Chain A
């Protein structure tokens, strides 16, 4: 059974159609990269998966559980959205770290707040917090930030900020980690260090959806590539096939500059 099934998602803003009939599925431990020109709906798709936007139509299933179905009002209750979001993690283009917290505090905050809702919170506060701190340290260490844990975001480079943001998303152990152009705000030097940690995550079989303009990275890291154009999935399949021998003329055109390099 696929870990994620997305069926026939449609989304319109006012009168503009942003997504139309988006369907794809993702197996556990696999990486899908989504490519396409700006304004093709890639970001909106990620925002729908993270319940920052509500699709007009369509179905979202994780591990066989229907999280959203436009035909079933029971799946659209505000109150349950919070829990459903936790199936997904999202790394933003602009990091969105909390500026008043240090790197490690950024990573720990959400879990600490969730711990407060546990029935055993009062009795086991110390242990819970200790465990959360231990995990945060491990994650930051994994991101190569062991010596930056107590720095505030403004004291970190863009690449370091983005790695903290990745650790923060991983702290909640999401089933699927989404990246929304994670390197678009970074210069080429810093891009490399962020792509490196994402690659490491892929090697550890982290299930990921990556929206990116880094074509070589999209091709190499993914098991599956989706090409979006004008709100639709125009073509999807094995990276070698989509990049090497695209079926659609539009895909060929989009990739032509990259393939020349």
Chain B
């Protein structure tokens, strides 16, 4: 026990650095996947059949295969197979590849949530807007969007909380996120070796982070309860 207390400050400092990278990947994924998911949703709902079939194919592949494999392919394929290492070396390259993988993967999940949200809104809302002389763009932003957001907050909350934990998959390409940081004390780092507790301790970070997110998303859901 004394030993752990002694190791604590060093471990915490390392885990904080790792967690910062975790958070960076989390936010970059959200910022990229929110709009991309909407574009994919519109693609899969398009009346232009080739576009809608193509988007549905992509969504099927991305949702049907493990994110870990997607990470590996996106990171290694350009360099090993095409001999064009587009990601560059080091942590920056790994972060870039991880971001791209996560954004594509999560955008596909989000697109299905958006689609459900949009299609769940009664057609009468759009028609009411049309007969009032609104353009389709005005109808989307002034009428449908907020109703869609209200519908998608609960399923989105689920995905967002899953994303926090999924960032740990980036460990597979050695991104220096919090799992990587915790694991480093097993092999040896900063004078500590053979310590497994830091790896277990990373769970606390995820738990706290998701606790905060649950509260924020719950508040958002409450806030949208003013209409039905």
Q: Point out residues on A near B: beta carbons under 8 Å.
A: 50-52, 82-83, 85-86, 88-90, 92, 94, 96-100, 109-110, 113-114, 152-154, 168-169, 172
Contacts and interface: CB of A to CB of B under 8 A. Distances in A.
A105 to B, nearest CB: 10
A110 B132 contact: yes
Contacts of A109: 132, 142
Given A96-B124, A100-B147, A85 B131 contact: yes
Nearest to A113: B138
Contacts of A51: 130
B192 interface: no
Given A99-B228, A100-B150, 4 more contacts: A96-B122, A109-B132, A113-B142, A152-B227
A85 B122 contact: no
A92 B227 contact: no
Given A92-B127, A96-B125, A172 B133 contact: yes
Smallest CB-CB A-B distances: 6 pairs: A110-B132, A96-B128, A96-B124, A154-B228, A90-B131, A99-B227
A169 B128 CA distance: 9
Contact of B227 (A110, A154, A172): A154
B221 to A, nearest CB: 15
Which range contains the number of B residues in contact with the other chain? Answer: 20 to 34
Nearest to A112: B142
A20 to B, nearest CB: 24
Interface in B101-132: 122, 124-125, 127-132
Contacts of A98: 125, 128, 143
B133 A82 contact: yes
Given A113-B138, A152-B226, A154-B227, A96 B133 contact: no
Chain B interface SS verdict (over half): helix
B220 interface: no
Nearest to A90: B131
A110 B127 contact: no
Given A100-B146, A110-B132, A94 B227 contact: no
Contacts of B134: 82, 110, 113
Contacts of A83: 133
- Residue of A89, A94, A98, A153 with highest tally of chain B CB at under 10 A: A98
A154 B226 CA distance: 9
A172 B134 CA distance: 12
Contacts of A154: 227-228
A168 to B, nearest CB: 7
A88 B131 contact: yes
A90 B133 CA distance: 11
Nearest to A49: B131
Given A98-B143, A99-B228, A100-B147, A114 B133 contact: yes
Contacts of B158: none
Contacts of A99: 147, 227-228
Contacts of B135: 82
A100 B131 contact: no
A89 B133 CA distance: 10
